[in-house]
């Protein structure tokens, strides 16, 4: 299915001798050619004698679907990942009109310049935002920058640059395939764009061969694309389909096993096992390694080198377990495990995974696993839903363990834009001082909501006036909440029900039922949470962190480990297929940083 060929370095091509003569010693150099919107499947359908001169592997873009690394399969995030070696959750480029990348995760232009201040670096692009938006600050400090020029001008200038300058890293962006795809979808015009790019690739390869003969420099040529295209017709892109996520990486040299070996022994087999191939984030560490620049663990690069020794491969969260992540390795070597920059464990790489049993950080957590002195990184957040408040038919509010809250739109089924926001006296008047103490909440009626705090107090909130009522917080006791006082330090979640009943879930895996009409806990409680009292919830009795009634027929119960249950109120049972992960597929934006 895939094309494999080795480039012959001894081929005579009739190109004039190089004119740059100042290089006295052989060097490692890199030419990175980016071809926008070139779908691998279509590439295989066209006669491409010059692509055939490269080793080519499938690869993926778009991050891991439903996890923190997920990003849209569009150009901005794609090129940012290609040039930073990290996903959107780190580089921050979330659209084609985004501004500068997150300076915490620099691009290749800065990484190389920092390591080699005298290096000659070039960025020649058709699509201007790469130079003018995302990396404008970085390219301001390199030797050659051209933006918004035609594909042929990009190639012509690149030929001149590699021939007549001491360039060590040259990045090119070609745009015609993406333009043809958007204008006329798959078909003759798109195929012609591929043929044209193939010819341009050929001229670059020919020139590199001559340069290597004349100087003994070792030029690594990498060719890749930022995203695939929509299935069948190919007019657009941006979604998480196998056709849009599949890209390719081509190289003119022999690469390591991460490049040529697909790994099937991974916990996530979505998209026909696509995650068993390299990701586009591996291009940066590959370039750096070829240039002799050591990759530091604190850089937290998501990709690993495709040349040289192997780092932990396919580092990813395990969908089946809480606080687990896995990797692939067949080497009997030590794996150093870092959490947020601190070495927390050393294990055998053959363990192929690790569980964080002492995770107590709130928010973003960065893990790095290092073998052979080469790191691989993984980011995920440790946000948790502490309380849910069903405000009305259209909105619900969720309070998180990072003292922020999210307004969730029930109609669009996603968090409203600009959330999360900090819980303070501007957003929730009177609640700001207690933002880190909220354990549970529920709406009593249109006028009143209650918040229960982890110090045994509660707050009455005036929904109409949108503020905490005077005199609160008050202690939870048998005067304020008859029968609930003895459980004031155990309240974990509250779920309003029919007939003016409210269920309080306790930390010990039991629950009490409170009758709002009688203003007291019903007789016979607490009772254990099991599959008789709450069918389908028994296994999660001590994992509950929050609950919210969604409508008359449905409630949601949130669990530790970013999981949730959907409860069918009418049939009094957990729906089949739960628990599920809280992610951007199930609760879009709810756990975003």
Residue whose pair of structure tokens reads 């975003």 in the numeric block = 592
Q: Mean pLDDT, to the nearest integer, of 333-339?
A: 97
Decide if 372 contacts 355 (C-beta within 8 A): no
φ and ψ at residue 156, rounded to 5 degrees: -60, -45
Q: DSSP states of 323-368 as a string? A: TEEEEE----SEEEEEETTEEEEEEEGGG-EEE-TT----SEEEEE
Q: Say whether pLDDT at 592 is over 90.
A: no
Q: Mean pLDDT, to the nearest integer, of 547-557?
A: 95
3-state DSSP assignment of residue 108:
helix
Q: Mean pLDDT, to the nearest integer, of 529-545?
A: 97
Given pLDDT bands bounded at 50, 70 and 90, which one contains residue 134?
very high
Tell me which residue of 41, 39, 37 sits closest to 174, measured CA to CA.
37
- Contacts with 479 (C-beta within 8 Å, 6 or more apart), sequence order: none
Strand ordering across the sheet containing 55-60: 55-60, 246-251, 218-224, 28-35, 167-174, 120-125, 144-147
Average pLDDT, the chain: 93
Neighbours of 76 (CB within 10 A): 24
Decide if 286 contacts 87 (C-beta within 8 A): no
- Contacts with 205 (C-beta within 8 Å, 6 or more apart), sequence order: 7, 50, 53, 221, 252
Three-point CA angle 338, 339, 340, nearest 5°: 115
Given pLDDT bands bounded at 50, 70 and 90, which one contains residue 359?
confident
Q: Mean pLDDT, to the nearest integer, of 363-390?
A: 94
This prediction's pTM: 0.86
Residue whose pair of structure tokens reads 């249950």 in the numeric block = 565
Report d(CA 385, CA 401) in Å as an integer. Answer: 6
Is residue 535 exposed (0-12), middle (13-18) or buried (19+ Cβ within 10 Å)? middle
Given pLDDT bands bounded at 50, 70 and 90, which one contains residue 322?
low
Residue whose pair of structure tokens reads 């690149």 in the numeric block = 158
Report d(CA 438, CA 492) in Å as an integer. Answer: 9
3-state DSSP assignment of residue 277:
coil
- Condensed to tens digits (0 to 9), the pLDDT of residues 139-186 reads 999 999 999 999 999 999 999 999 999 999 999 999 999 999 999 999
User: Which pLDDT does position 68 carry in this prediction?
Assistant: 87
3-state DSSP assignment of residue 125:
strand
What's the token pair of residue 218?
Answer: 């070792």
- Condensed to tens digits (0 to 9), the pLDDT of residues 87-123 reads 999 999 999 999 999 999 999 999 999 999 999 999 9
Report d(CA 378, CA 303) in Å as an integer. Answer: 9
What one-character DSSP code corresponds to residue 588? Answer: B
Strands (DSSP E) contained in 501-543 are 501-506, 510-515, 520-521, 527-528
Q: Mean pLDDT, to the nearest integer, of 526-542?
A: 97
Decide if 396 contacts 456 (C-beta within 8 A): no
Tell me which residue of 164, 162, 201 sits closest to 29, measured CA to CA.
162
User: Which pLDDT does position 464 carry in this prediction?
Assistant: 96
User: Which pLDDT does position 495 carry in this prediction?
Assistant: 97
Quick one: residue 114, left, alpha or beta (phi over 0 = left, psi -120 to 50 = alpha)? alpha
Lowest mean pLDDT among 68-72, 288-292, 366-370, 374-378: 68-72
Q: Say whether pLDDT at 295 is over 80.
A: yes
My answer on whether omega of the bond before 192 falls inside 30° of 0, hence cis, is: no
Q: Say whether pLDDT at 377 is over 50.
A: yes
- Condensed to tens digits (0 to 9), the pLDDT of residues 436-451 reads 999 999 999 999 999 9
Report d(CA 285, CA 105) in Å as an integer. Answer: 13
Length in residues, the chain: 593
Q: Which domains does the chain have, with CATH numbers?
A: 29-276 (3.40.720.10), 385-581 (2.110.10.10)
Decide if 395 contacts 409 (C-beta within 8 A): yes
Q: Say whether pLDDT at 13 is over 70.
A: no
Report the run of H or E that residue 179 belongs to, with start and end: helix 176-184
Given pLDDT bands bounded at 50, 70 and 90, which one contains residue 363?
confident
- Condensed to tens digits (0 to 9), the pLDDT of residues 461-506 reads 999 999 999 999 999 999 999 999 999 999 999 999 988 999 999 9
3-state DSSP assignment of residue 528:
strand
What's the token pair of residue 495?
Answer: 């779920």
Given pLDDT bands bounded at 50, 70 and 90, which one contains residue 21?
very low
- Condensed to tens digits (0 to 9), the pLDDT of residues 31-60 reads 999 999 999 999 999 999 999 999 999 999
Q: Say whether pLDDT at 19 is over 70.
A: no
């Amino acid at each position: 299915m895939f094309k494999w060929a080795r480039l012959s370095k001894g081929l005579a091509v009739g190109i004039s001798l190089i004119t740059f003569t100042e290089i006295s010693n052989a060097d490692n150099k890199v030419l990175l050619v980016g071809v926008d919107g070139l779908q691998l499947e279509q590439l295989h359908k066209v006669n491409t004698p010059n692509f055939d001169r490269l080793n080519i592997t499938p690869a993926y873009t778009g991050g891991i679907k439903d996890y923190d690394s997920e990003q849209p399969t569009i150009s901005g995030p794609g090129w940012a990942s290609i040039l930073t070696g990290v996903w959107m959750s780190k580089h921050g480029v979330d659209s084609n009109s985004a501004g500068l990348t997150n300076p915490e995760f620099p691009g290749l232009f800065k990484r190389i310049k920092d390591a080699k201040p005298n290096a000659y670096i070039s960025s020649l692009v058709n699509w201007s935002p790469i130079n003018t938006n995302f990396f404008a600050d970085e390219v301001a400090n390199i030797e050659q920058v051209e933006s918004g020029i035609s594909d042929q001008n990009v190639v012509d200038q690149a030929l001149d640059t590699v021939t007549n300058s001491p360039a060590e890293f040259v990045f090119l962006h070609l745009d015609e395939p993406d333009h043809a795809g958007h204008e006329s979808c798959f078909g003759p015009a798109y195929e012609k764009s591929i043929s044209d790019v193939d010819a341009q690739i050929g001229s670059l390869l020919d020139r590199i061969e001559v340069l290597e003969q004349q100087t003994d420099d070792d030029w690594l040529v990498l060719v890749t694309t930022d995203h695939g295209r929509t299935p069948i017709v190919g007019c657009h892109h941006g979604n998480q389909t196998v056709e849009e996520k599949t890209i390719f990486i081509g190289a003119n040299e022999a690469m390591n096993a991460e490049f040529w070996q697909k790994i099937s022994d991974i916990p996530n087999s979505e998209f026909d096992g696509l995650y068993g191939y390299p990701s586009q984030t591996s291009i940066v560490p590959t370039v750096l390694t070829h240039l002799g620049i050591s990759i530091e663990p604190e850089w937290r690069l998501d990709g690993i080198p495709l040349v040289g020794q192997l780092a932990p491969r396919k580092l990813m969260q395990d969908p089946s377990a809480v606080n687990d992540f896995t990797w692939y390795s067949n080497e009997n070597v030590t794996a150093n495990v870092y959490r947020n920059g601190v070495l927390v464990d050393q294990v055998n790489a053959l363990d192929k995974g690790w569980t964080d049993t002492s995770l107590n950080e709130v928010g973003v957590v960065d893990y790095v696993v290092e073998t052979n002195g080469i790191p691989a990184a993984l980011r995920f957040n440790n946000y948790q839903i502490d309380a849910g408040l069903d405000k009305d038919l259209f909105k619900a509010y969720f309070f998180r363990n990072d003292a922020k809250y999210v307004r969730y739109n029930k109609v669009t089924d996603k968090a409203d834009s600009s959330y999360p926001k900090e819980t303070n006296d501007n957003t929730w008047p009177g609640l700001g001082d207690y933002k880190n103490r909220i354990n549970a909440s529920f709406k009593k009626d249109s006028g009143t909501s209650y918040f229960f705090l982890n110090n045994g107090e509660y707050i009455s909130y005036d929904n109409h006036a949108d503020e905490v009522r005077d005199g609160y917080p008050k202690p939870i006791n048998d005067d304020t909440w008859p029968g609930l006082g003895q459980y004031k330090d155990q309240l974990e979640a509250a779920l309003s029900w029919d007939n003016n009943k409210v269920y309080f879930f306790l930390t010990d895996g039991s629950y009490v039922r409170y009758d709002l009409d009688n203003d007291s806990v019903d007789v016979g409680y607490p009772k254990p949470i099991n599959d008789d009292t709450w069918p389908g919830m028994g296994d999660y009795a001590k994992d509950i962190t929050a609950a919210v009634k969604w409508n008359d027929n449905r409630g949601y119960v949130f669990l530790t480990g970013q999981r949730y249950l959907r409860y069918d109120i009418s049939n009094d049972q957990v729906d089949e297929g739960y628990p599920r992960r809280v992610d951007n597929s199930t609760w879009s934006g709810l756990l975003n940083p």
